[in-house]
Amino acid sequence: MVDVIGGTDFIVITTPECAEPIVAFLIEQFGSYFADIYEKRRVSDDSILSMSMAGVSLLPGRFGSVEEIAQQAAWVKRLAKERPGTVFVSDQDRECAEANDSGRDWTRAEQRGKMGAL
């Protein structure tokens, strides 16, 4: 299922088995379809057109509410936006887990405050 969250933010709900092929397809299509737009935009204002994708694993019992899922998605999205280029970051990735272990994870109150800034 694909839906628009708002602006240029979308959500894709899928099974774990389909996540990697969907991400690969999106990255490939984004790169080829928007290559001409990318070149025009990069030349005109030195910015780079890219796409940041965040994945959240919804294992049974992992989250207690929809708000907790949204907070996790916002945190992973922030990690993805910190990386250059078109990227996918999953909360199951080792780097994401290391960021969580290193204290970069925010408390729920801090997450709520930062969600609007993402």
Q: Characterize 13-52 residue by residue with b for buried, 16 or more Cβ atoms within 10 angstroms of its Cβ, and e for exposed.
A: eeeeeebeebbeebbeebeeebeeebeeeeeeeeeebbbb
Mean pLDDT in the chain? 75
54-101 pLDDT per residue, tens: 899 998 999 999 999 999 999 999 998 888 888 889 988 866 666 665
Q: What is the pLDDT of residue 5?
A: 78
